[in-house]
Structure 1
Amino acid sequence: MSQSCSINKCIRISRGLCDCCQQNLCLQHLIEHNASLVSQLNPLTDEVNALGDRLKTLNIQKTIADSREKLEQWREDCHNKIDCFFEQKCQELHQLVNEKVGQQREELNRINLKITELINAQETTRQDIDLLTFTIRRLERNMNKIEQTCFTIDTRPLIIDDTLISIEKVTEHELDLSTLSPVYKTIHRPEESSRLLTGNDRYLLIHQYPNLCLFDREMNIVKQMLWSYGKINDMCWSSTLDRFIVLGINHIYLINENTMSIDNMQTSEERLWLSCTCSDTVLFASTNEWGSSIMKFKLLPAIELIKEWKYPFTCAKDEAITDIVYNDENLSLIVISESKKSVRIELRYAKTLDRIWILKLDI
C-alpha cells in the first residue's frame, strides 16, 4: 500500500526517503528539500573563499618572527663560543712560542750584559772569549730551531646534533616558561610572615609580619595595616565583592583595598578553613580536616552558604584538600593522602564537582 507524504497537510503519495530529514516525502517536497540543501552550499563556499583569502594574506614572517629571533640568538651564541675557543687555542699557540723566545731573550740579555762589563773593564781572557762564543753559537742554533719549528694541529669537524634545537608547536593555553622575564625585584619578608599572596589588576596583597601590605606594580608598598587575627591559611580576590578574602583559622575576613578595613564574614557555622578561591558569583572554601569538605557560598545579594560537598565525594577519610583554584568553570584541587603519603591534582567541574581527570605527583 502506498504511503502518504510525511509533510503536514500534504496528501500526495511519498516517492522516497529524504536524506536530510529521514522522512518519506512526495516528489515536490523531495525537490524542495533538495533545493534547501543545495542552497546551504553557497554560504559554505563563501566561508571557504574567506579562508582562502586569509591564507593569501597570512604573514608567515610575522608568525615566526619571535621563534626566528631565538634561532638567530642561538646562532650568535654558538658563533661567540667558537670564536672564544679559537682565541683560546691561538693564545696557547703563542704561549708555546713566547716561552721559548723569552728564554732566548733572557740569555741574550745576560750575554750582552757580560760583554758590556768586560768592555767597560777593558780586561778579558781567552776563556771568556771562548765561553761567550760558545754561548752565542748555542743561542744561534736555538734561534734556528725556533724559526724552523712547526706545530701539528689536530682538528676534528664540529658535529651538529639535530637534537640541539627542538621545534614544537605551543598550544594556545600552554605556558612557555622561556618567555618569563628575569627577576624584576625581590621582596624580603620576616620569617613569621605567611608565604601566601594574592592580587587583582592593581595590587598584590602580601603578609609582611606583622602587617598586611598592598604592593603596586613597581613592587612598592602603597598601603599597610596591622594584622592581629592570627594565622593566615589562604587568600584570594573577589571582583564581585571588590574585596580581598582572607582565610583565618576559623574565620573568613573581607579586606577593603581602599580603606584597608577588615570585616568578618558571617557564616552559618564555625569551621576550620584551609583554602579558598572565587568565581564571578561564588566563593569556594575547603575545610582544614581529614576528609575535607568544600563549601560553596553565593556572593550576591548577600553572602550565603548554598552547598557543601563532603567526603567521600570530595576525598577519602584520610585525605585533605590543601589547595583549591577556580578557572574557566573548573576547580583544580591538590589532595594529600595521610596513609599513602601521596599528592595528586584533580580537575573537577565547578558546578557539580564531578571529576574530570586526576594527576598523581611523584613528590
Structure 2
Amino acid sequence: MRRFSFVMVLCAALVAAAPTDFNPSVWRYWVPLDPPKPGLTGESFARVTLPSSILARALPGLEDLRLVDDSGGAVPYVLIVEGSRQKETRVPVTIVDTGVVPGQYQQLVCDLGQGNAVSNEVQVETASQNFRRRVDILASADRRKWVDLKSGSHIFDSHEEFVFRNLRLVYPETTYRYIELRIWLDGGEPLKITGVRVSRVVRKDVAPEKLPARIVRRQEDPERKATDVYFETDLENPHAEACVLAVTQENFQRGAEIAYRDKEGIWRGAGTGEIYRFKIGNQLEENLRIPLVDFTARACRLRVWNRDSPPLDVVSAVLERLPRVVVFSCNPPKNYRLFFGCSTAQRPSYDLELAVKRLDITDLPRCASGALTANAGFKVREESRPWTERHPALL
C-alpha cells in the first residue's frame, strides 16, 4: 500500500509538471476513451489496449500517439507491449550419481537438499556442440524408488549455419528431493556436462492475438539448400512478435529466418529461430514459433535451411501480436481522446515511465477506445522549403 501511494504521489507531481501544448490540426484521427467500469472514485492509473484500427493508421513505430484531455492539453502516458511475465527462483543443487550405461544412456542426479524445495525446470550446461539428445526426467524422495516426471523431452545444440540451442527441460512442479536426467545416447557420444541450474519458474502468460497470413509463393533454392516461402497479411502494421508455422512432417529440426523488403527493395532480417518436431511413440515435443522484433511489414519471406534433408511442407503461417497498452493517470471528471496519424510526429518522452515501471499493469482499471473519428480540424501542412527550392526552373 505504501509503495502504491508513493507511485500515485509521483504520478501527480509528474502530471502537474507536464507540458500541455498540443496542436490537433496535424493529426488525422482520434478516438474517445470510455471511462473504466466500474467508475473510478479518484485519480488512478488506467490502461487502454490499442485496437487494430489504431495500429493500422498510426505510424509503424507508434510515435504519433497523443493523449489529450478536456483542456486540450497533452496528457503523459507510457506505451507498453504487454508480454508474458515470469519469476524464477533458483534452487541450490548438488550433482550426484553421474555415469554412463554404454550404448544406452548417460545419467546424472540433482540433489536439491532436505528443504522440500519446489522445482519445475532444469537448465543443462554443456561444452558439447552439434548434438540432439532425448531426455527422460525421473524423481525420487530416497534414490531407491523412482517415478517418471516427463519422458521424451529433447535438448540440442547446432553450430552450423546459425547457432541454435535448447538446453532447458521443463517438468511438472514437484517437491521431490532428487531429480534424475536420463540422457539417451541414440548412437552418439556422452555429452560433456559441466553443470545444471534447477529452478522454480512461475509464468503469467498473456494470450497473443492471432493474425492470419496467406502463402502466395514457394520456391526451392538448391544452391543454398533452402526453401523460401512468401506470405502476406491484409493488415497494415501488424506489429507481430512471432510467426507460427504449420508443418506436416514429423521428426525434423531446421534453422529458419523471416525477412521483409524495405522501401529500397532490400531484404532485411526480422527474426530467426529453430523449428523442430520430435515424436517418439506417444511423446511429442515441438517448436514451430519464430520470434520477431515488432514486425510491421505486410509481406515477408520465410527461409528454411534444409541442409541435406528433404524440404518441409509448410502449409500455413499465423502471426502473433501481443497487446499494445497505453497507461496513464486517469482523473474521473475529465474526458480523454487519443490522437494519431501525424506523419511528422516524434516520440514523446515523459517522466511518467519511472512510475509505471513499478506497476503490475494487469489489473489496472481498463478504458475502452471508442469509434474512430476523422479529425475535422486536420490540415495538410504546406511545404516549408524556400520558394527558390520549390521553383528552380523559374530562376
Q: TM-score under structure 1 normalisation? A: 0.19
Bigger CA radius of gyration: 1
Considering fraction of residues, name the structure with more helix: 1
Relative contact order (alpha carbons < 8 A, sep ≥ 6): 1 or 2 greater? 2
Q: TM-score under structure 2 normalisation? A: 0.18
